[in-house]
Chain A
Amino acid sequence: MKTLRLLVAVSLLGLGSAARAAELNLFAWSEYVPQAVIDGFTEETGIQVNYETYASGEEMLAKMLAGGASYDLIQPPDYIAEVLIRNKLVRAIDAKKLPNLKHIAPEFLGMPHDPEQKFTVPYMIGTVGIVVNTDVVKEPIRGYRDVFQSKFKGRIVVVNDNRELVSWVLVTLGLDQNDITPANLSKVKPVLAEWIKLVKVFDSDSPKTALLSGEVDLGVVWSGEAARLYEEDKKFSYILPSEGAHPFVDVMAIPASAENVAEAHKFLDYILRPEVSKLISDEFPYTNPNLAARALLTEEQLANPASYPKIEKYNTFRDIGKGAAAIDQLVTDLKSAQ
């Protein structure tokens, strides 16, 4: 699926270079911005939207740094936004041009990645949590320790994201998920070695597939995937790990090199409109930070535990710099050794 998206992205690259009077080069996650929203924006404003996609925040960063294409609006996850702000790769957003920003819940403003609330606008919030097929697994599952038990060997799917894997072990050991030191990684190693042996599938793109087909019964997946599973069949219950759930905030930002800044602001305000934001929630059932849009959702949508879990504090990922390479090496080592 990732490769498929890459191919789509590459084929869209060609479109991005077509010079038009009014256009907006949007660089966003695959399967995250509904086509209806883009079409609606073009219809209303006449601004052509070129939607190029990526499958991970790191991929986005790599392509942005490689240059070559100019993007007007990007959609990084929190910890990538933090790096971009620190390196002055994004420009300040003019809040005066975004009258609809007032709908955003205050808890999602001024977060650690953008403490001054100058550079980003929250798009959607999600969590990484546990999905259980309650038809098969009858015992209560509360946290990571309940999932990664030897009796569930070969019945688990997890996202194929090395940093996520390491962060689950860190919080299980009572450590800070953002404290990637050699000492902490050596504590993570023996636990993660055992966990990796139990996993049947590593899949970031569509972990719900293995759960739906009955190939596995337990999963640690993105909440959006879990919400769709729950919509499909109520037997898939979503649990926030008792050891500590990892929430993530995907934001919108304008790169410093953007050429169509006015268009980018227009698009931002457009998707902040409650009725437009509702369309996004309909298609991608993550936590919508837009309170006015939430008021338009059905009771059933709001009751979906994967979309609106009870979270006290949003303890998000922070940038770890070169720690990403250490994590990659550790996980590659452990996957090879099994």
Chain B
Amino acid sequence: MTPQADLGVFAISLAAGLIGALAGVGGGILVIPALTIVFGVDIHLAIGASIVSVIATSSGAAAAYVRDRMTDMRVGMFLELATTTGAVCGALISAIVAPAFLYVLLGVVLLGSAAMHVSRMGEETPPPDPPSAMARRLRLESSYPDRKLGREVPYSARRIPLGFVLMWIAGVVSGLLGIGSGVLKVLAMDGAMRLPMKVSSATSNFMIGVTAAASAGIYLGRGDVDPQVAAPVALGVLAGALIGARLLHHISNRTVRLVFLPVLVAVGVETIGRGLGFGV
């Protein structure tokens, strides 16, 4: 690539890292179309670069989120049990399942979730109900410091079995289709388990790196990771994620929802497009 193209890829990746760190997603939704459509990069190399982008967003943002108590590590590790198992199942059945129908199904589910997400748009923090026996036993109750609200916000996970099943499905989907793993994780934690939006986003960020790392070796061995493309993507995304992780403290849960909504809709539309055969 020319130095001008490198600079362009760096700039777009910086935006992807920034949005990804705030919304709890990997930024592939921005990186893949930009690389293929604007810079004419081969789709396989673009997907390889997006795997790098997911891990860079996750590690860059989570380094700050873990330290600042925005990531709930117990929620993250408990649910990673579901996502990693799901990802292995997804990879195993990928040879026997026709993905076209699944893409459309996933897209419809995501757009349906977007409608539910809109209905929660005005909610700053979930209602403070007492923790369930299961949440106490699994220690899925904690609090996070909200600098915007200027107080400690307590929370506890609700509907834990539902959240676990949704996370398993998120793992299957990412192993099978390689898309939407971040948005599904945020939806499971925010929508089903009713964790505060910032905690959902920061914990999703913590988790997506592990999901991507599980399949990264496959892309590397296949020759889909090209340093010429991945270098400006990785550096841009890391810079964006570090800025995003600082920015999260200065915005409200409502604003995080506002950032997440267009990402959710874009992934939904793109997924349906792929299923119908005209995606990037």
**A and B associate in one complex:** no
Residues on A lying within 8 angstroms of B by beta carbon are: none
